[in-house]
Amino acid sequence: MKSIISSLFALSLLSSFTITAHQCHFPAIFNFGDSNSDTGGLSAAFGQAGPPHGSSFFGSPAGRYCDGRLVIDFIAESLELPYLSAFLDSVGSNFSHGANFATAGSPIRALNSTLRQSGFSPFSLDVQFVQFSNFHDRSQTVRSRGGIYTTILPEADSFSKALYTFDIGQNDLTAGYFAKKTVEQLETYDVPEIISQFKTAVTNIYAQGGRYFWIHNTGPIGCLPYVIEWFPLQASEFDSHGCASSLNQLAQRFNNALKQAVIELKASLSEAAFTYVDVYSAKHELFVHAQGHGFKRSLVSCCGHGGKYNYNKHIGCGKKVVVKGKEIYVGKPCDEPNKAVVWDGVHFTQAANKFIFDKIATGLSMACHRH
């Protein structure tokens, strides 16, 4: 807790200085990532995430694997921008203030498997960049036709003034873990290649005019039920809070490599402003001191079925099963989603996302400054 407070205090001091000098204004957000920031991409491509997703805020499913808003939604609210439409969603989308290329299950590095085989999305970060590049060019061609296109597509200068947000990497780590690779193998062989591909994507976006980069590190994957439940772990492998120590250490090693990559990108891309955002600390704080922050459930899912964590990979949130010829709704949400940290064994609740956003929000006031 001390480290979070001290880092945030330093951030707030810098922020108070820059606000008086130049308040950041971003006309658009272009987001790249996985389910932590997917506002409808996977739902558009492979079928909608059904109820009770969206029940706490939108009133119905809204393409998010959550009961409500994600951190990216709170970022958009803070910047007084509309919620981001998913690039893959052709129904009712408005891209005048940016686009979201994230899809649930996306890794940085492409995986040689289908969504049905592994649960991981085919829209890896390199694919998301291709989608962005196409959008960058085609949006201006279509916008020049006039009419409604001028209201639903971004202005040309939005691309150089926009905030480019990233929340991706978790699936690369869990994919390796599910493939039974050791933490040492992942750290030695996989992480360097994953980080290299991340740097390539950012460099390519810079070449297309992107200048302001907001980069989330990855969270404590060892505290998520779907990861813990995948393989039975020995009691000695858990810390005092019930999280898998080795997996959290892997996440931290990945984050160290990501932070170093951001330093290198900052040095090589001289016109860009980079903000490395420590969401790991905010999420870990929430798991470790959930009750102190008003939460009743930390590791136990709000929406799910069975087991120690109210999670079953075969019977997920919102699912129904047939028992003696009768369909029974088993993936029910808990009575107080706003008191739970984990929504469905994989993703955070809206309340947890708000907590995380509040811990990092101060940095948005400096995200346009090269420092």
Q: What is the 3-state secondary structure (H, E, C) of 69-80?
A: CCHHHHHHHHCC
Measured CA to CA, the distance from residue 337 to residue 341 in angstroms comes to 8
Residue 335 belongs to a domain: no
* pLDDT tens, residue order, the chain (371 aa): 444 433 443 343 343 333 334 689 999 999 999 999 999 999 999 999 999 999 999 999 999 999 999 999 999 999 999 999 999 999 999 999 999 999 999 999 999 776 766 679 999 999 999 999 999 999 999 999 999 999 999 999 999 999 999 999 999 999 999 998 999 999 999 999 999 999 999 999 999 999 999 999 999 999 999 999 886 677 788 999 999 999 999 999 999 999 999 999 999 999 999 999 999 999 999 999 999 999 998 999 999 988 899 999 888 899 988 878 888 787 889 999 999 999 999 999 999 999 999 999 999 999 999 87
Residue 95 belongs to a domain: yes
Nearest residue to 60 (alpha-carbon basis) of 339, 318, 347: 318
Residues 371, 88: contact at Cβ < 8 Å? no
- Report the CATH number at residue 287: 3.40.50.1110
Q: Strand 273-277 to strand 163-167: parallel, antiparallel, or no bridges (unpaired)?
A: unpaired
Residue 238 belongs to a domain: yes
Give me the pLDDT at residue 117, please: 66
Please give the residue range of the domain that contains residue 218.
Answer: 2-291+344-366
The distance of Cα 73 from the centroid of its chain, to the nearest Å, equals: 11
Give me the pLDDT at residue 326, please: 86
Residue 309 belongs to a domain: no
Residues 37, 72: contact at Cβ < 8 Å? yes
Q: Which of 34, 35, 97, 158 is catalytic?
A: 35
Residue 185 belongs to a domain: yes
User: What's the number of domains the chain is made of?
Assistant: 1
Give me the pLDDT at residue 97, please: 98
What is the side-by-side order of every strand in the sheet holding 98-100? 98-100, 29-33, 163-167, 212-216, 273-277
Q: Give catalytic status of residue 25 as yes or no.
A: no
Residues 42, 336: contact at Cβ < 8 Å? no
Residue 298 belongs to a domain: no
Q: Which of 38, 172, 278, 344 is catalytic?
A: 344
Q: Which of 53, 284, 305, 347 is catalytic?
A: 347
Residues 45, 103: contact at Cβ < 8 Å? yes
- Please measure the distance between the N-terminal and C-terminal CA atoms of the chain and give it in whole angstroms: 25
- Tokens 């006309």, located at residue: 27
Q: Which two tokens stand for residue 7?
A: 């880092």
- pTM here? 0.92
Query: H helices of 166-323, where?
Result: 170-178, 183-185, 191-207, 225-228, 245-268, 279-288
Residue 122 belongs to a domain: yes
Give me the pLDDT at residue 3, please: 43
Give me the pLDDT at residue 82, please: 98
Residues 371, 276: contact at Cβ < 8 Å? no
Give me the pLDDT at residue 235, please: 79
Residue 315 belongs to a domain: no
Give me the pLDDT at residue 21, please: 44
Q: Give catalytic status of residue 344 as yes or no.
A: yes
Give me the pLDDT at residue 23, please: 81
Instruction: Dump pLDDT digits (tens) for 199-218.
Output: 999 999 999 999 999 999 99
Measured CA to CA, the distance from residue 50 to residue 56 in angstroms comes to 14
Q: Give catalytic status of residue 126 as yes or no.
A: no
Nearest residue to 166 (alpha-carbon basis) of 24, 34, 359, 358: 34
